Amino acid sequence: MKKVNYLLLFFLILAATKETAAQKDTIVQQRQARQLLRQGNELYTNEKFTDASVAYQKALGENSNYDKATYNLGNALYQTKNFKEAIPQYELTAKAATDPATKAAAFHNIGNAMMESKNYQGAVAAFKNGLRNNPNDDETRYNLAVAQKLVDQEKKENKDDKNKDKNKDKNDDKKDKNKDPKDDSKGDKDKDGKDDKNKDKKQDKKQNPDKNKEQDKQKPKPKEGRMSPQQVKQLLESLNNEEKKTQKKMNAKKAKGKKVKQEKDW
């Protein structure tokens, strides 16, 4: 019985030791997380937002439930224009926060990130949630008015585009109705008529070869060229004159002196 008691006591001491060690590890991790958070804040103040993001992520690696690191990571991502990545960090903050002021700030930043992402409808919802938690926040109220105006403008543009498409379809339908189908077929008929005539002529030539010979005889043929003695004499004289002109040109070229080389103009 004593042995059983000793064993039970031993296991209790062992469990307590493990629990104490786990608590020490947790305390160490929390300290490291706070230290990394301070590093991130310092980098953020110096506008080194990318480095600050890394520090906040390391802090969350040490303590995943570190709300301040989550919120600050969202701010750092927002400053580097990673709006879509910043939104989930703000959403975690809004979900975990117990006080209305922190919730309101998180929803305000969600709205701003959605505005930058051109998700105006989502921004309207976020700003409304922010005002529910802090009705006196004039900045959130102003942003809500801007977001709502952009939503209305977007709806109007979409409606105008739809009306344009409808009017375009109507005009296309009118054009199709006004088009005369006979116009297209007329050219085809003329073309077919000509083709039929040409086919008939070809068939007629094949079937009546004698008739074709008679037609060829009736056509006027060109006369064979015959020159009179006078025309032959004139042609010879013309050739002699051309030859004399050519000879004169050749002699004139030989008589020209050599060109004098000139200096370059500098």
Contact 56, 76 (CB under 8 A): yes
- List the one residue out of 65, 157, 93 whose CA is nearest residue 120: 157
In the prediction, which pLDDT does 225 show? 40
In the prediction, which pLDDT does 260 show? 34
Q: Write down how long the chain is.
A: 266
- List the one residue out of 82, 94, 158, 80 whose CA is nearest residue 121: 158
- Which DSSP letter does residue 221 get? P
* pLDDT tens per residue, range 67-92: 999 999 999 999 999 999 999 999 99
Contact 122, 87 (CB under 8 A): no
Domains of the chain: 12-80 (1.25.40), 84-168 (1.25.40.10)
In the prediction, which pLDDT does 235 show? 55
In the prediction, which pLDDT does 159 show? 84
Q: How far apart are CA 51 and CA 39, in angstroms?
A: 9
Contact 144, 124 (CB under 8 A): yes
In the prediction, which pLDDT does 50 show? 96
Count of CB atoms within 10 A of residue 144's CB? 21
In the prediction, which pLDDT does 251 show? 57
In the prediction, which pLDDT does 136 show? 95
Q: How far apart are CA 228 and CA 255, in angstroms?
A: 42
How many angstroms from the chain centroid is the CA of residue 84?
20
In the prediction, which pLDDT does 52 show? 97
pLDDT below 50 — which residues of the chain?
A: 21-22, 183-191, 213-227, 232, 254-266
- List the one residue out of 109, 111, 122 whose CA is nearest residue 151: 122
Q: Which amino acid is at 197?
A: K
* Residues sharing a CB contact under 8 Å with residue 60, sequence separation 6 or more, in sequence order: 33, 66, 69, 70, 73
